[in-house]
Structure 1
Amino acid sequence: MEQELKLRLLDPTAWEQMLAHPLLALQDTPAISMHAIYYDTPDATLQRAGLAYRVRREGERWVATLKGEGSAAGGLHQRPEWNVAVDDARPCLTVFTESPVQAVLEALRDRPLLAILETEFQRIEKSVSWEDGSRILLAADRGEIRANAAREPILELELELVEGDPAAVLTLGAALCRDLPLLPDAQSKMLRGLLLAGLLPEKAAPRPKAVRLRRHDDAGEALAALMLAHCHQALAELGACLAAPVAAEPFHQLRKTIRSLRSLLRFSRPLDPEKRLATLRRELANWFHGQNTRRDYDALGLYWAQLRDEMDITPEPLAGFLRDQAKAAQDEVELRAVVALLLSLWALLLRHGLASSQPLQDFCEGRFRQWDQRVRRAHQAGEDVASLHALRIQIKNLRYAALAMSPLWPGQDSKPLLKVLTSLQESLGGIRDAQMALERCSPLAHGRKALLAYEAGLLLGYLQARRSKHLKKCRKYWERWRTTARPWD
Structure 2
Amino acid sequence: MSHEIELKLTLPQKSLPALRRHPLIAEAPRDGRACTLENTYFDTIDLELRERRMAVRTRKAGSRWLQTVKCAAESVAGLSARPEWEQPYANACFDFSAIDRDDVRKRLEELQPRLVPVFTTHFRRETVILTPREGVKVLAMIDNGHIEAAERSQPLCELELELVEGDPAELYALAQQLAETLPLTPENVSKAERGYRLFSNHALRPAKARPSRLAAEQSPVDAFRIIGFDCLALWQANESGARESDDPEFIHQLRVALRRLRSALRLFSPALPADFVSRWSDGLKEAADGLGAARDLDVMLAEVLSPVAESGLADEATQRLIAMAVDRRDREKTAAREQLLAASHGRQMLALAADLYGLESDALVKSANLTTFARLQLTQLRKRARKRYAAAADLHPDKLHELRVSLKRLRYAIEFLLPLLPEKATVRYANELAEIQDTLGYINDEAVARGRLKAWAGKDPELRSGAAFVAGWHAPRIARLRRNILPTLEPVLWGKSPWRR
Q: Does 1:4 align with 2:6?
A: yes
Shift of 1:139: 1.0
Shift of 1:264: 1.0
Deviates more, 1:254-263 or 1:454-463: 454-463
* Cα 1:412/1:292, change in 2 over 3 Å: same
Q: Give, in whole Å, the separation in 2 of the partners of 1:113 and 1:479.
A: 60
Q: Give, in whole Å, the separation in 1 of the partners of 2:40 and 2:149.
A: 10
Deviations 1:113-132 (A, max 9, x none): 65444332211221223579
CA RMSD after TM alignment: 3.5
Deviations 1:455-488 (A, max 9, x none): 3332234456555444323322342234221123
Q: Give, in whole Å, the separation in 2 of the partners of 1:423 and 1:258.
A: 21
Shift of 1:280: 1.7
**Structure 2 counterpart of 1:392, from 404, 407, 416:** 404
Question: Which position in structure 1 is the counterpart of 2:145?
Answer: 143
Q: Does 1:167 align with 2:169?
A: yes
Shift of 1:453: 4.2
Q: Give, in whole Å, the separation in 1 of the partners of 2:175 and 2:166.
A: 15
Deviates more, 1:150-159 or 1:71-80: 71-80
| Structure 2 gaps, min length 5 | none
Q: Give, in whole Å, the separation in 2 of the partners of 1:132 and 1:305.
A: 62
- Trace 1:321-336 onto structure 2 (pairs within 5 A): 321-330=324-333, 331-336=336-341
- Trace 1:98-113 onto structure 2 (pairs within 5 A): 99-101=100-102, 103-104=105-106, 107=109, 111=113
* Cα 1:151/1:201, change in 2 over 3 Å: closer
Question: Which position in structure 1 is the counterpart of 2:367?
Answer: 357
Deviations 1:213-261 (A, max 9, x none): 44454333223212221211221122222221x3222221222222122
Answer yes or no: is the 8 Å Cα contact 1:76–1:186 preserved in 2.
Answer: yes
Deviates more, 1:433-442 or 1:255-264: 433-442
- Trace 1:259-270 onto structure 2 (pairs within 5 A): 259-270=259-270
Question: Which position in structure 2 is the counterpart of 1:97?
Answer: 98
Q: Give, in whole Å, the separation in 1 of the partners of 2:433 and 2:226.
A: 25
- Trace 1:19-34 onto structure 2 (pairs within 5 A): 19-25=20-26, 31-34=34-37
Could you say what secondary structure the match of 1:296 adopts?
helix
Shift of 1:359: 1.8
Question: Which position in structure 1 is the counterpart of 2:271?
Answer: 271
- Trace 1:14-413 onto structure 2 (pairs within 5 A): 14-25=15-26, 31-39=34-42, 50-59=53-62, 61-85=64-88, 90-94=91-95, 97=98, 99-101=100-102, 103-104=105-106, 107=109, 111=113, 115-130=117-132, 134-147=136-149, 149-173=151-175, 176=178, 179-198=181-200, 204=205, 210-244=211-245, 246-302=246-302, 303-313=304-314, 316-330=319-333, 331-336=336-341, 337-354=344-361, 355-381=365-391, 383=394, 384=396, 386-413=398-425
* Cα 1:466/1:335, change in 2 over 3 Å: farther
Question: Which position in structure 2 is the counterpart of 1:480?
Answer: 491
Answer yes or no: is the 8 Å Cα contact 1:6–1:158 preserved in 2.
Answer: yes
Question: Which position in structure 2 is the counterpart of 1:460?
Answer: 471
Could you say what secondary structure the match of 2:158 adopts?
strand
Instruction: Name the aligned partner's letter for residue 137 of structure 1.
Output: L
Instruction: Name the aligned partner's letter for residue 347 of structure 1.
Output: A
Q: Give, in whole Å, the separation in 2 of the partners of 1:240 and 1:287.
A: 17
Shift of 1:401: 0.9
Answer yes or no: is the 8 Å Cα contact 2:137–2:165 preserved in 1.
Answer: yes
Deviates more, 1:401-410 or 1:254-263: 401-410
* Cα 1:280/1:43, change in 2 over 3 Å: closer
Answer yes or no: is the 8 Å Cα contact 1:140–1:156 preserved in 2.
Answer: yes
Q: Give, in whole Å, the separation in 2 of the partners of 1:138 and 1:214.
A: 36
| Structure 1 gaps, min length 5 | none
Answer yes or no: is the 8 Å Cα contact 2:130–2:138 preserved in 1.
Answer: yes
Deviates more, 1:113-122 or 1:157-166: 113-122
* Cα 1:234/1:460, change in 2 over 3 Å: same
Instruction: Name the aligned partner's letter for residue 225 of structure 2.
Output: A
Q: Which structure carries more helix by proportion? A: 2
Instruction: Name the aligned partner's letter for residue 454 of structure 1.
Output: S
Q: Give, in whole Å, the separation in 1 of the partners of 2:145 and 2:13.
A: 11
Q: Does 1:444 align with 2:456?
A: yes
Shift of 1:373: 2.5
Answer yes or no: is the 8 Å Cα contact 2:436–2:489 preserved in 1.
Answer: yes
* Cα 1:264/1:178, change in 2 over 3 Å: farther
* Cα 1:96/1:153, change in 2 over 3 Å: farther
Q: Give, in whole Å, the separation in 2 of the partners of 1:428 and 1:474.
A: 8
Percent identity at matched positions?
Answer: 27
Q: Give, in whole Å, the separation in 1 of the partners of 2:400 and 2:73.
A: 47
Shift of 1:447: 4.3
Q: Give, in whole Å, the separation in 1 of the partners of 2:29 and 2:447.
A: 57
* Cα 1:84/1:394, change in 2 over 3 Å: same
Aligned pairs, number: 483
Deviates more, 1:140-149 or 1:380-389: 380-389
Deviates more, 1:172-181 or 1:136-145: 172-181
Instruction: Name the aligned partner's letter for residue 144 of structure 1.
Output: H
Could you say what secondary structure the match of 1:97 adopts?
coil
Q: Give, in whole Å, the separation in 2 of the partners of 1:314 and 1:385.
A: 27
Q: Give, in whole Å, the separation in 1 of the partners of 2:43 and 2:217.
A: 45
TM-score of the superposition, structure 1-length normalised?
A: 0.85
Q: Give, in whole Å, the separation in 1 of the partners of 2:137 and 2:449.
A: 53
Deviates more, 1:323-332 or 1:274-283: 274-283
Deviates more, 1:341-350 or 1:231-240: 341-350
Answer yes or no: is the 8 Å Cα contact 2:214–2:226 preserved in 1.
Answer: no
Shift of 1:271: 1.0
Question: Which position in structure 1 is the counterpart of 2:426?
Answer: 414
Answer yes or no: is the 8 Å Cα contact 1:126–1:137 preserved in 2.
Answer: yes
Q: Give, in whole Å, the separation in 2 of the partners of 1:109 and 1:311.
A: 58
TM-score of the superposition, structure 2-length normalised?
A: 0.83
Answer yes or no: is the 8 Å Cα contact 2:37–2:125 preserved in 1.
Answer: yes
* Cα 1:175/1:263, change in 2 over 3 Å: farther
Shift of 1:206: 6.9
